[in-house]
Amino acid sequence: MKVRIVAQRIAGSKRIEAFSDAVFAVIVTIMVLDLKPPDHATFAALLALWPTAVSYVVSYCFIAVVWVNHHHLFRFLPHATPRLIWINFAHLFMVSLVPFATAWVADSRLAAVPVFVYAGVFVLVNLAYLPFERHALTYAQAHEISAKTRRITKVRSLATLGTFLVAMPVSLAFPSLGFGLVCCALLLYLRPEPPGVHNEDATEIRPLPGGSPNVSAGASPRSAR
């Protein structure tokens, strides 16, 4: 009976992650569909679309960064809870606003208000990510995740949120600078583990047949499933 319960909990967690993967795929597809070819068959017409290319590349990298970190946190969430489900839905909803903001920035050629809204969407995504991250770290804290890792992770999250918040008013006066601040903030999340934390410092939670989690260092992410 205990083995069956553990298996059901793991399946629930995998369903949430699979659903999230599908949402991320749809979001990227929507952004691709917004890419329009130039009106004329010349290099000059192609170069004129540079705001579209830049905003698309940044947004695509942003979606990739969010997905990588989302996948990383699910290592520490061996079973689904109603709270996790709703936190994940809120996070995905905020991420789904990225294609709209990206298209507006591209069409307006990095105008002030669209870049302001663009940075604002990043703020919303980050605010929705914080409880998701906190939920994972709370579970991980009970399973020997080092205090250093938790502390650096929280500092990185707050620093990123602060950068996005600063980018909003800055973009109203200097749109390109505000857009650049958004790009700089994304660099902090290119690696799921925060700076100063090595892969061997991360632990992996693996449910045992008896139902209790087992923590091991250096295990592969999928070994927990």
Domain extents in the chain: 2-224
Tell me: the pLDDT tens digits for 181-212? 999 998 888 887 766 555 544 444 444 334 44
pLDDT band at residue 171 using 50, 70 and 90 as cut-offs: very high
pLDDT of residue 39 exceeding 60, the answer is yes
Predicted local distance difference test score (pLDDT) of residue 56: 94
Query: Given a cut of 90, is residue 176 above it in pLDDT?
Result: yes
Q: What is the pLDDT of residue 12?
A: 65
Better-predicted residue by pLDDT, 70 or 204:
70
pLDDT of 217 above 70: no
What is the per-residue pLDDT for 214? 45
Please give the Cα distance from 54 to 60 (Å, whole number).
10
User: What single letter denotes the amino acid at residue 222?
Assistant: R
Do the beta carbons of residue 27 and residue 98 sit within 8 Å?
yes
48: its two tokens: 């004129």
Q: What is the pLDDT of residue 123?
A: 96
Average pLDDT (91-103) is 96
> What is the average pLDDT across 49-63?
92
Of 183, 131, 175, nearest to 157 (Cα)? 131
- Could you give the CA distance from residue 2 to residue 111 in angstroms, rounded to a whole number? 58
